[in-house]
Amino acid sequence: MTSQQIILFDGICNLCNRSVQYVIKHDPGGRFKFATLQSATGKKLLAHYQLSNNNLNSFVLIKNEKAYTKSTAALMVARDLKGMIRLLYGFIIVPRLIRDAVYTFIAGKRYRWFGKRNECMVPHPSLTQRFLN
């Protein structure tokens, strides 16, 4: 479907939106494109990769025609960014079951801890080419 690196994220989650802003800031080459899980593009990509669109608790990275979810997706994104965040990729050696349990715990509390928006974020006009919605 695409050879781009695409991040699918929960568009109403404040933590997720801050994470996207962080990725944009630390991805000066513009390798990553973005779509919300709630968007038509996000739903189409979820269906293409046979991922459920009923559970918006997952962060998804589509890279090299393969979909990665949860902690694996987050660590793979961290590896491709500039700065010290790249060191987080070392946690890939932790068994996925453990990594994903931590991820799922945080994802389940994200609205309570960080809040949520009433609607998906609208990117700044200078960033619209990075968003697939």
Q: Tell me the pLDDT tens digit for each residue of 74-125.
A: 999 999 999 999 999 999 999 999 999 999 998 888 888 988 776 555 566 6
pLDDT attached to residue 120 = 57
Average pLDDT in the 27-47 region? 90
Q: Which structure tokens are listed for 20?
A: 């996207």
- Look up residue 58 and give its DSSP letter: -
Residue 75: the pLDDT is: 96
Report the number of distinct structural domains present in the chain: 1
Question: What mean pLDDT comes out for the span 46-50?
Answer: 91
Higher pLDDT, 115 or 49: 49
* Domain range for 107: 5-130
Contacts 24+ apart (CB under 8 A), 129-132: 130/24, 130/30, 130/32, 130/33, 130/34, 131/33, 131/34, 131/35, 132/6, 132/33, 132/34, 132/35, 132/39, 132/41
Q: Is the pLDDT of residue 36 over 80?
A: yes
> Residue 56 pLDDT more than 60?
yes
Residue 126 has pLDDT above 70, yes or no: no
- Tell me, what's the pLDDT at 1? 44
